[in-house]
């Protein structure tokens, strides 16, 4: 059974750094074709993919946010961590982690965490 759990703050102050942890079970991030991504969604708005890390440590970032984002994995702990620096109220959103599975260009987020609602306010 594949599950993803998320942990991290629900309230951060402007200019602070957000650190979110995704702890998963039921799959290994060292297996071919597997990745974990972070996606966010402001209230009432669309999904935005922020970052993706693959089994081979390939990392991809949103072009508009890449200077603020870092994604890392700890395969032994089954965890993926996303940090986002210099948080601003416009970053208020629900943040999801999700497993990506597939080969070549044919992949999809097939399992999702429950989401963490993050508010940026002083």
Partner 1 sequence: DIQMTQSPPSLSASVGDRVIITCRASQNIFTYLNWYQQKPGKAPELLIYAASRLQSGVPSRFSGSGSGTDFTLTISSLQPEDFATYYCQQTYSGLRTFGRGTKVEIK
Burial class for 76, CB neighbours closer than 10 Å (0-12, 13-18, 19+): exposed
Instruction: Check: CB of residue 9 under 8 Å from CB of residue 118.
Output: yes
Report d(CA 78, CA 118) in Å as an integer: 23
Q: CB of residue 104 vs partner 1: minimum separation in angstroms?
A: 9
Q: CB of residue 57 vs partner 1: minimum separation in angstroms?
A: 16
Instruction: Using the minimum distance from each CB to partner 1, give the nearer residue, 9 or 107.
Output: 107
**Binding to partner 1 by residue 110, rule CB under 8 A?**
yes
**Binding to partner 1 by residue 2, rule CB under 8 A?**
no
The CA-based diameter of the chain, rounded to the nearest angstrom, is 43
Q: What binding mask, one character per residue, do residues 15-54 give for partner 1 by CB under 8 A, x or -?
A: ----------------------x-x------xxxxxxx--
Nearby residues of 15 by Cβ (< 8 Å), 6 or more positions away: 86, 87
Show contacts with partner 1 in window 52-91 (CB under 8 A): 52, 60-63
């Amino acid at each position: 059974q594949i599950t993803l759990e998320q942990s991290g703050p629900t309230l951060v102050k402007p200019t602070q750094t957000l650190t979110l942890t995704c702890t998963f079970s039921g799959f290994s991030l060292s297996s071919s074709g597997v990745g974990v991504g972070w996606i966010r969604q402001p209230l009432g708005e669309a999904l935005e993919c922020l970052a993706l890390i693959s089994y081979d440590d390939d990392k991809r970032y949103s072009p508009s946010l890449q200077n603020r984002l870092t994604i890392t994995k700890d395969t032994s702990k089954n965890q993926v961590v996303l940090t986002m620096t210099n948080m601003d109220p416009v970053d208020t959103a629900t943040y999801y982690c999700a497993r990506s599975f597939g080969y070549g260009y044919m992949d999809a987020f097939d399992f999702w965490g429950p989401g963490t609602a993050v508010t940026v306010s002083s």
